[in-house]
Amino acid sequence: MTRNVAKFFFLAALLSLNGAQLYAEDAAAVEAQAGTLEILVAAKGSGRALRRAEVKLGTEVLTTDPTGRVRLSLPDREGDLQVSRQGYESTFVSFSSLRGKSKQTIYLEPGKPDDSEVVIVGARRAEVSRKTVTVRETARIAPGGDAAQVTQLLPGVQNNPGRTEVVIRGSGPNDSRYFVDDIAVQNLFHDVANLSIIPSRQLSSVEFNSGGFGVQYGDATGGVIVLRSSDEIPTEKHSEFVVNVPFYLGLFYEQPIDEQSAVAVSVRRSILEAILPKVLPKDLDATVVPSFYDVYARYLHKTENTTYKLTAIATQDGLSLLVPFDGAERADGKANIEFRNSFQVLALERDHNLGDGWRYRTTPQIRNARVKANFISNDLYINTKSFSMPTEFSKRLEKGRFIYLGLSPEFSQTRVDAEAPAPVSDDPFYDPEDAPKLSVSRSFRIDQYAAWSAIDLGYEAWTVTPGLRTATNQQIGETAIDPRLQMRYALNKDNNLKAAYGQYSISPEPQEASAEFGNPDLGYEKSIHTVLGIETRWDDRWETEFQTFFKKTYRLIVSGGDRNYTDTGTRRTYGFEAFVRRNLTEKWLGWLSYTYSVSRERKNDASPWYTSSYDQTHILNLAGSYRLSAFWDVGSRFKFNTGNPYTPVTGAVYNSNLDKYQPSYLKDEPYTERLPDYHSLDVFATYDSLYNEFKLKYQFGIQYLAFTKRIDSIQYNFDYTEKESVANLPPIPYFQLSGEF
Name the least confident of 31-40, 627-636, 656-665.
31-40
Q: Which domain holds residue 506?
A: 224-740
Max CA distance (Å), the chain: 115
Which pLDDT score is estimated for 10? 44
**Cβ-based neighbours of 207, under 8 Å, separated by 6 or more:** 124, 130, 131, 132, 224, 225, 226, 227, 228
Q: Is the pLDDT of residue 9 over 70?
A: no
Q: How many CB atoms lie within 10 A of CB 497?
A: 15
Asked if 694 and 42 touch (Cβ cutoff 8 Å), the reply is: no
Q: How many CB atoms lie within 10 A of CB 5?
A: 9
Which residue among 209, 241, 271 closes a domain? 209
Which residue among 209, 242, 275 closes a domain? 209
Residues 460 and 535 in one domain: yes
Residue 124 placed within a domain: no
Q: Is the pLDDT of residue 96 over 70?
A: yes
Mean pLDDT on 35-60: 88
Residues 315 and 457 in one domain: yes
Q: What are phi and psi of 145, to 5 degrees?
A: 70, 10
Which pLDDT score is estimated for 518? 79
Residues 78 and 191 in one domain: no
Residue 89 placed within a domain: yes
Q: Is the pLDDT of residue 20 over 50?
A: no
Model confidence over 364-404: pLDDT tens digits? 999 999 999 887 778 888 999 999 999 999 999 887 789 99
Element (H, E) at 7: helix 2-33
CA–CA gap between residue 59 and residue 65 (Å, rounded):
19
Q: Is the pLDDT of residue 451 over 90?
A: yes
Residues 149 and 296 in one domain: no
Residues 416 and 483 in one domain: yes
Q: Is the pLDDT of residue 665 over 50?
A: yes
Residue 214 placed within a domain: no
567 or 5: which carries more pLDDT confidence?
567
Which pLDDT score is estimated for 285? 66
Residues 288 and 179 in one domain: no
Q: What are phi and psi of 613, to 5 degrees?
A: -65, -20
Residues 663 and 528 in one domain: yes
C-alpha atoms less than 13 angstroms from C-alpha of 180 in its C-beta half-sphere? 32
Q: What is the CATH number of the domain that holds 573?
A: 2.40.170.20
Model confidence over 691-728: pLDDT tens digits? 998 999 999 888 888 877 778 888 888 888 888 888 77
Residues 462 and 529 in one domain: yes
**Cβ-based neighbours of 684, under 8 Å, separated by 6 or more:** 634, 635, 636, 699, 700, 701, 702
Name the least confident of 190-204, 275-289, 434-448, 715-729.
275-289
Residues 711 and 584 in one domain: yes
Residue 711 placed within a domain: yes
Which pLDDT score is estimated for 279? 75
Which pLDDT score is estimated for 11? 44
Kindly indicate the confidence band of residue 117, based on its pLDDT and cuts at 50, 70 and 90. low
Residues 665 and 711 in one domain: yes
Which pLDDT score is estimated for 422? 64
Residue 624 placed within a domain: yes
Asked if 566 and 606 touch (Cβ cutoff 8 Å), the reply is: no
Model confidence over 25-37: pLDDT tens digits? 444 444 444 458 8
Model confidence over 567-617: pLDDT tens digits? 999 999 999 999 999 988 888 899 999 999 999 999 999 889 999 999 999
Q: What is the CATH number of the domain that holds 44?
A: 2.60.40.1120
728 or 224: which carries more pLDDT confidence?
224
Q: How many domains does the chain have?
A: 3
Residue 120 placed within a domain: no
Residues 376 and 402 in one domain: yes
Q: Is the pLDDT of residue 342 over 60?
A: yes
Which residue among 46, 78, 108 closes a domain? 108
Q: Is the pLDDT of residue 68 over 70?
A: yes
Residue 123 placed within a domain: no
**Cβ-based neighbours of 236, under 8 Å, separated by 6 or more:** 48, 256
Residue 510 placed within a domain: yes
Residues 486 and 597 in one domain: yes
Mean pLDDT of the chain: 86
Name the least confident of 200-204, 387-391, 401-405, 433-437.
433-437
